[in-house]
Each structure stands twice: as C-alpha cells, then as structure tokens.
C-alpha cells in the first residue's frame, strides 16, 4: 500500500506523525532522525541522564571517561557497578568505604 503524501510534509516511520517541512531533521514527537544515524548512548551514561532531566553534559561525559581510565577499563568499571548493586546501593557502599578507612 502506498503512503499518503502531503505537500511540504513527511511522515515519521516510528510514530506516523506528520512533520512540517521537507528538510526537517527529526520528528518532534519521538525524536526519530530522518536521513541520519540514530545516536546510541551506552547504558551507564543513560542512567545518569535520566536523573538530570534527560540531558547529558560534557562534564558528565568527562567524569565517566576519567573514571573508566582510573578504574582500568569498561570491564572493571562494570564489575565495580555490579559490586555496588550487590552491596545495596551507593549509600551503603559509601558507608562501607568510610568504615573500612576508619579502621
């Protein structure tokens, strides 16, 4: 079946919304990019972005990059995040670190 066409508009393949302007770069409803690559964000950065109004700042990216370098790579950082989750969260992990440093 052929798609309907509207003069000066195009239809988003994800949400089927009509987008004004034939040169539009993205759908305003679902942020689907026309004629472009979808940006894939790694999972740890996405978790940070969800807490801060769904935006990622350069400072956050720099902080994560520096942490990856200090810890020794993505695999070791993933192990560390798993350990934090096993302990019961960041607050409990921080309390354990403080208790260990005092002893």
Cα 39 to Cα 49: distance, rounded to the nearest angstrom = 14
List of E strands, 1-103:
9-11, 18-20
DSSP H or E stretch at residue 62: helix 58-71
pLDDT of residue 23: 63
CB 71 within 8 A of CB 77: yes
The confidence band for 9, taking pLDDT boundaries of 50, 70 and 90, is confident
Using alpha carbons, select from 26, 44, 46 the residue that is nearest to residue 35. Answer: 26
- Give the gyration radius of the chain's Cα atoms: 22
The confidence band for 103, taking pLDDT boundaries of 50, 70 and 90, is low
The structure's pTM equals 0.40
The confidence band for 20, taking pLDDT boundaries of 50, 70 and 90, is confident
């Amino acid at each position: 079946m052929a798609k309907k066409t509207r003069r000066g508009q195009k239809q988003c393949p994800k949400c089927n919304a009509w987008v004004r302007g034939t040169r539009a770069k993205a759908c305003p409803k679902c942020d689907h990019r026309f004629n472009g690559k979808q940006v894939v964000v790694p999972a740890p950065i996405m978790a940070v972005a969800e807490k801060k109004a769904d935006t990622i700042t350069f400072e956050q990216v720099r902080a994560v990059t520096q942490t990856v370098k200090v810890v020794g790579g993505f695999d070791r950082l993933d192990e560390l995040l798993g350990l934090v989750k096993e302990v019961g969260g960041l607050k409990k992990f921080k309390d354990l670190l403080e208790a260990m440093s005092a002893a």
